[in-house]
Amino acid sequence: MILAGVKIILVEPAGPLNVGSVARVMKNFGLHQLVLVNPQCDPLGMEARQMAVHAQDILDAAVSVATLPEALQGCKRAIATTGIDHHWQAPLETPRTALPWLLAEEGQPAALIFGREDRGLTNQELNYAQRFVRIPTSPNYSSLNLATAVAICCYELAQFDAERENFTPSSLPCIPASSATAPESEIAPLDVVEAYYQQLESLLLKIGYLYPHTAASRMEKFRQLYNRAQLQTREVAMLRGILRQVKWALSNKSDSEKF
């Protein structure tokens, strides 16, 4: 099933009961890849195992990594969940609207990212995703338990997977035009795009376009721009080639040309 390629990523989970419950709902709906970023609890302890019940194999197979980029290694598509309105152009979508996009590429890893129980994902962490989901809740009490949020999203993914023959990449709801017209296999993996961001930031700092104390906020804008563009692998290679040539030109300028 396409679902087998979807990673459920928990960033710094603090509650072993939540981790165990997440493993259980994943198995309920046919997802198997659990990735824990810098967990703040024992994901293999007794409390987690008790909540996992018959999904202890999900816990045993879970991968723990230090950073979110490590968790996203190899993924081409990533959706982050958030309960907060952010002041950027990327819309907050419902699970039903956004999640089919994760299943558009059979055999390609994709990621659904969940934040900390108490404060969710930081702006920097959100910038690693291309799309953003908020689960609609009552304004009288909008906060969802982590495991409940994962359960809702896993259910929606399972429903989409069961009906996937009725969908094609060009007919999935709210897919940006660039990804609807380009071959799906050409979308650049997130780690490839991340390497470009690092190269871009280094060069922009060197030429004085960025300053160290404002670099993070300015780079957020670039990330949002490129996330909307859905860069293809060959496009990232072209952009990196431009940066390399600019760096070479700067290094080989004569003193008379520099002033």
Q: What is the DSSP string of 62-93?
A: -EEESSHHHHTTT-SEEEEE-SS--SSSSPEE
Q: What is the DSSP string of 134-200?
A: -----TTS----HHHHHHHHHHHHHHHHHTGGG--TTTSTT--HHHHHS-GGGBPPHHHHHHHHHHH
In this predicted structure, the answer to whether residue 6 has a pLDDT above a threshold of 90 is yes
Identify the H or E element spanning 112: strand 110-114
Residue 89: band (very low, low, confident or very high) from pLDDT cuts 50, 70, 90: low
What is the distance between the alpha carbons of residues 169 and 11, in angstroms, rounded to a whole number? 29
What is the distance between the alpha carbons of residues 217 and 210, in angstroms, rounded to a whole number? 10
Residue 178: band (very low, low, confident or very high) from pLDDT cuts 50, 70, 90: very low
The alpha helices in 207-258, defined as continuous H runs, are 215-229, 233-251, 255-258
CATH code, 188-258: 1.10.8.590
Flag whether the pTM goes above 0.85: no
248: helix, coil or strand?
Answer: helix
Query: Tokens 């990449």 map to which residue?
Result: 169
What is the distance between the alpha carbons of residues 182 and 97, in angstroms, rounded to a whole number? 20
CATH code, 2-176: 3.40.1280.10
pLDDT in tens, 109-168: 899 999 999 999 998 899 899 999 999 998 888 889 999 999 999 999 999 888 765 555
Q: Provide the residue ranges of all domains of the chain, joining segments of one domain with +.
A: 2-176, 188-258
Residue 86: band (very low, low, confident or very high) from pLDDT cuts 50, 70, 90: low
In this predicted structure, the answer to whether residue 30 has a pLDDT above a threshold of 90 is yes
Taking residues 177-193, what's their average pLDDT?
63
In this predicted structure, the answer to whether residue 11 has a pLDDT above a threshold of 70 is yes
